[in-house]
Amino acid sequence: MSNLDASDFKKRKRYSGDCRVFRFKNFGENGHPVEFTNASLRENLKALLEFGHLETKLCCKGMPCWSFQLEVHRHPPLHILLFVVEQHIDDDASQLNRHCKQCHYVGWGHNIICNKKYHFLLLSKDHTMVQACLNCKGNNYKYDSAGNYNNNNNIGKTCSLEVESQGHVMHGVFHSNGFGHLLCVNGVEKGSELAGYQIIEFWDRLCSGLRARKVSLNDFSKKGGMELRLIHGVAYKEPWFGRWGYKLERGTYCVTQEMYHKAIEALQGMPLYLLIHHLGPTNHELPLIFTRYQTLSDHCLVTMGDLFQFMLDLKTRLPKENSPGSSSSYNTGFLVETSTCRWSPKRVETATKVIVEALKRARFRWVSRQEVRDAARAYVGDTGLLDFVLKSLGNHIVGNYLVRRSLNPVTKVLEYCLEDISNVLPIQEGNNLLMMNNNNFKVKAMCRVTRFQVMKDMFYLYKSILKDPKLSTGILNAIPVAVRIILDSKYLVKEYCFGDISMKVDEFGVFCTVMIKNNEDVEHGLVKPPLQPYEYITVRNNATIDELKLEVERNFREIYWGLKSFVVEPITNLNDAKGMDLAFGVVEAGQKLVFEGRINKERAIVNEELYECGARNYAVDCTPCGAKDDDGERMICCDICEIWQHTRCVGIPITEGVPHIFLCSRCEQEIIHLPSFP
């Protein structure tokens, strides 16, 4: 165990000499704090770290650490700290786990292990304790994107760098080849001063500025006890992280992208009338919720996707309330549509209450606009405010009453009347389900709807429809199946695409990759080795083929740990080129080239150990779901055939521990059919 101890790290003053303060809102953009170029991630990182403060007291096994002080806002003052830790994958550091489980789970296990990783840690300014420890245990621990530590009980022993802190806001990591992972996000619900979307936008700016290639995350995001990938999937056909371009790359339990999209379509297109027909008789709250939001909508809500999308959109338009119980029965929701008025919501609410009380005293008879206005003037002297509220109140619900407005056909005068609607209005059938009709106008019941109410109703729908185990039988049994598929679609990836790469006048560039030929099967063409991500290599216009090879060797040795002794042989798609030929005359700018080569035998590494996935000294064959590889979910090994399977697939609940002795179904059947001995 090796600890990075910052117990004696003292807070620096805000404007101390060597500590610059950067703005959080634009940190990572070009020019803030550095002019990012179209160079590789390694070059941009080097330029960025020149603006950081080197923390000499924060070190572990020689891993340097830089800090940046970021100002979120000045009034009230709020600062947070960004730490960047450079982790070297050194030959002698045998206790380190060089393999990246995140790369393996998301499908990048064929990438060669990189020489360096860069950990980006965002912490609250009030917490200056950072610990980075080398922890070697039998299980693989990792952060999920909800900020929780998970013990996945994965295959074999792992040894990994773990970064722990109090006040942890974000943890992301970049490999030196430009691939990265967002490991942890803690928003407001986890006690952070920053909302989740602010953290993701900050991370996205970093990825764009540093020119990351691809970035993955394991989507465990939650809001109000609900899985966001499920709620947003039903509403918008994509996870919450889809707002920033993250898309499903790989599912667990052998879930494919086609299965995911079909599950989304099934839930989105579920008719509401079907839910009411089957669930309404036993769940009286569902029709009330459906009716409430249909009255608020300008169009008919037919499917479950329509309903969830409208509720999420409505929540963003509603004003924030101080507490769940702060809303009054006269809290007029029509303010959402008239938020640009010159009166404060409190004054409008007071005038609304006065007008409704005046109409109550009329004992539900029709009263002219002037009578109502005169009665209300005894309490509210602002006639402009009264005129505004009278105009806005027409055909709206306030409390348990509908404020009806109509033009008297004889006197041609506007008249008002209260109607008690405390009982639920009748629901129509067919496609016009939930359209509340009263004298051919639609009631907009904004009065009792607050952000808290919307989230409460959505959570009720989430539990009653999406997470109810009783729906596993009958005509609605497709819902639990689709829900499980969506929840198993967790590995998301964003690919960062950049435009044309500029260079100096006397240079030209090509895209290069390498193929390792240290394997006999590769030599004889029996196995095709995985190609590494292409690197953009620039050389002078007068450079020779040999100089191009040397530049390729230098770059790939600098990036990858297993290629420190890599030597280039012939260029696969330029066999006729000679070493002293000018590269510019043989190779076209922007061309893709594959360089074959070998690793020095004295420093050669077992082929499987070169790659992020590591050696495959285990076998996965989960018969129920069809998985053939470790996907990060909890697994168990049969004590006879030593085949790994998902604990969920073999019927072991997540709440229970792994049994000491386990036999798979195939081995159990073979034992049962063994002949008995006398």
Note whether residue 187 is domain-resident: yes
Are the CB atoms for 244 and 79 separated by under 8 Å? no
In this structure, are strands 619-620 and 643-646 parallel, antiparallel, or unpaired? parallel
Instruction: Write out the two tokens for 285.
Output: 């709250």
Q: Are residues 103 and 74 in the same domain?
A: yes
Contacts of 677 (CB under 8 A, 6+ apart): none
* Domain carrying residue 565: 507-610
Burial class of residue 13, CB neighbours in 10 A (0-12, 13-18, 19+): exposed
Q: Are residues 514 and 662 in the same domain?
A: no
Q: Are residues 521 and 659 in the same domain?
A: no
Distance of alpha carbon 59 from alpha carbon 4, whole angstroms: 6
Note whether residue 97 is domain-resident: yes
Note whether residue 653 is domain-resident: yes
**CA-based end-to-end distance of the chain:** 56
Indicate the residue among 158, 192, 218 that finishes a domain. Answer: 218
Give the CATH number for residue 645.
3.30.40.10
Distance of alpha carbon 239 from alpha carbon 245, whole angstroms: 10
Indicate the residue among 587, 610, 633 that finishes a domain. Answer: 610
Predicted local confidence at residue 560, as pLDDT: 92
Contacts of 622 (CB under 8 A, 6+ apart): 253, 254, 628, 635, 644, 645, 646, 649
Distance of alpha carbon 353 from alpha carbon 375, whole angstroms: 12
Note whether residue 460 is domain-resident: no
Identify any residues that bridge with 643 across adjacent strands, giving them in sequence order. 619
Q: Are residues 520 and 651 in the same domain?
A: no
Map 418-456 to HEC letters: EEECCCCCCCCCHHHCCCCEECCEECECCCCCCHHHHHH
DSSP conformation letters of 76-136: TTEEEEEEEEEEE--TT-TTS--S-HHHHHHT-TTSBPBSEEEEEEEEETT---EEEEEEE
Q: Which of 35, 28, 26, 34 is nearest to 72 (CA)?
A: 26
Q: Which of 190, 135, 202 is nearest to 164 (CA)?
A: 135
Per-run averaged pLDDT (10 residues), the chain, 678 residues? 37 47 92 84 93 78 85 87 89 62 92 92 63 37 36 40 59 95 88 90 95 94 92 96 95 95 95 88 86 83 94 88 46 45 82 89 84 90 88 74 77 83 44 35 50 92 90 82 95 85 76 82 61 90 90 93 85 72 84 86 61 85 92 94 95 89 91 73
Residue identified by tokens 């029965």 is: 329
Indicate the residue among 563, 592, 610 that finishes a domain. Answer: 610
Instruction: Give, in degrees to the nearest 5, the angle at Cα 89 between 599 and 110.
Output: 60
Please report, for residues 61, 173, 507, 584, 598, the alpha-carbon distance to residue 540 in angstroms, rounded to integers and kept in the order given: 39, 33, 4, 9, 26
Q: Are residues 149 and 38 in the same domain?
A: yes
Q: Are residues 172 and 79 in the same domain?
A: yes
Q: Are residues 209 and 66 in the same domain?
A: yes
Q: Are residues 582 and 673 in the same domain?
A: no
Note whether residue 263 is domain-resident: no
Are the CB atoms for 134 and 126 separated by under 8 Å? no
Q: Are residues 676 and 575 in the same domain?
A: no
Predicted local confidence at residue 500, as pLDDT: 59
The helix/strand/coil state of 511 is strand
Note whether residue 324 is domain-resident: no
Kind and range of the H or E element at 412? none
Instruction: Write out the two tokens for 166.
Output: 């109090």
Note whether residue 155 is domain-resident: yes
Q: Are residues 203 and 126 in the same domain?
A: yes
Note whether residue 655 is domain-resident: yes
Q: Are residues 663 and 545 in the same domain?
A: no
- CB count within 10 Å of CB 582 equals 15
Q: Are residues 28 and 133 in the same domain?
A: yes
Question: How many domains does the chain fold into?
Answer: 3
Give the CATH number for residue 532.
3.10.20
Is the bond leading into 281 cis (omega within 30 degrees of zero)? Answer: no
Identify any residues that bridge with 73 across adjacent strands, giving them in sequence order. 78
Phi, psi for 386 (deg, rounded to 5): -65, -40
Instruction: Give, in degrees to the nearest 5, the angle at Cα 531 between 527 and 532.
Output: 145
Q: Considering the entire predicted model, what is its pTM? A: 0.75
Are the CB atoms for 276 and 287 separated by under 8 Å? yes
